[in-house]
Amino acid sequence: MRCHYVVSAFPPPPKAAARLAEGGRRTSRTIAMALSLLVMPAIVFAQTSERRIELGGDLRWLAGIHFEDVNANETAFGGVTRTVFRSATSFDQAACPEVKAIVGLTRALDIEGAVAYGRTHLTTRITLDPEASNVTIAEPVSAYVLEAGVAAHLARWRGRRSAPFVSAGAGYLRQIHDGQTHIEDGPSWYAGGGVRVPLSDETARGLKSAALRFELRATILPGGSTLDGNRHILPSVIGGVFFHL
């Protein structure tokens, strides 16, 4: 049995607090640098290339993660065990705004990159305690996501106004717990599919050319990126608007 305890009632020691503060500053610098690397090359490339370049924003709805329940067992004389209480921990649902750039390599294939930020809660519910009532404990968690991948348009199923696509890629997830008392980070992978709906003539440029994009995505988090060390699949719904540069 493996139990995890998150204690945030007291501040960390000065040296640990300094390291965590520096980690937070590194995260901010990483996000700012990633955003610059994502946006600036797209703008420059748009001015020197005839390829389709798009820049836009999404709202990503994360469905949340439920970790494996953990029983706190007590062993008495004779090897008899009983459950003292049970804990169930989960990351709550969250809405994450993100900025995304898309570059059309061919008519059917795009490369895309995104930077997202969201706030959620890590919630633990303690139940089945014969000496106390059920308790729910929650702490805020900030999540930063960097992703890059490809999207392939499915011309065979293209409609009059809509164009379906499938996507896949890799990313980096960084989770900062309340007060920077604990930081988790690691790689991630994703696969999904959706539909693109043009709002205007896509042969035009600038704000006159826009499209809506909706996607259902499954993000795979390996053991090193999760609280319990197990692999989890994080479902999400993504929707946004994009403009042709």
Strand 183-198 relative to strand 109-127, pairing: unpaired
Three-state secondary structure of 151-192: EEECHHHCCCCCEEEEEEEEEEEEEEEHHHCCEEEEEEEEEE
Classified as helix, coil or strand, 3 is: coil
Dihedral sign of CA atoms 47, 53, 56, 62 in order: negative
Q: What is the pLDDT of residue 7?
A: 35
Per 3-state DSSP, the chain is made up of helix, strand and coil in percentages (nearest 5) of 20, 55, 25
Measure the CA–CA gap between 51 and 98, rounded to whole angstroms: 23
Measure the CA–CA gap between 91 and 62, rounded to whole angstroms: 10
Q: List all residues 6 or more positions away from 64 whose beta carbon is below 8 Å from its beta carbon.
A: 90, 91, 92, 93, 94, 120, 234
Measure the CA–CA gap between 29 and 8, rounded to whole angstroms: 25
Would you kindly state where each structural domain of the chain is located, as residue ranges?
14-74+82-244
Q: What is the pLDDT of residue 206?
A: 57
Measure the CA–CA gap between 111 and 167, rounded to whole angstroms: 9
Q: What is the pLDDT of residue 30?
A: 53
**How open is the CA angle 138-216-155, to the nearest 5 degrees?**
165
Q: What is the pLDDT of residue 57?
A: 93
Enumerate long-range contacts of 45-51, CB under 8 Å, 24 or more apart: 45/103, 46/245, 51/103, 51/104, 51/105
pLDDT digit string (tens) for the chain, length 245 residues:
333 333 333 344 444 444 444 544 555 555 555 545 454 554 455 444 556 789 999 999 988 888 877 777 777 777 777 777 888 888 888 899 999 999 988 888 999 999 999 998 989 888 887 777 888 888 899 989 899 999 999 877 777 778 899 999 999 988 888 777 778 888 899 999 999 998 876 655 555 678 999 999 999 988 766 777 788 899 999 999 999 87
Q: What is the pLDDT of residue 194?
A: 95
Nearest CA to 198 out of 93, 8, 52 is that of 52
- Helix boundaries (H) for 49-177: none
Q: What is the pLDDT of residue 46?
A: 46
pTM of the predicted protein model: 0.70
For the domain covering 14-74+82-244, report its CATH number: 2.40.160.20
Q: What is the pLDDT of residue 204?
A: 58
Exposed, middle or buried, 36 (CB in 10 Å: 0-12/13-18/19+)? exposed
Q: What is the pLDDT of residue 10?
A: 36
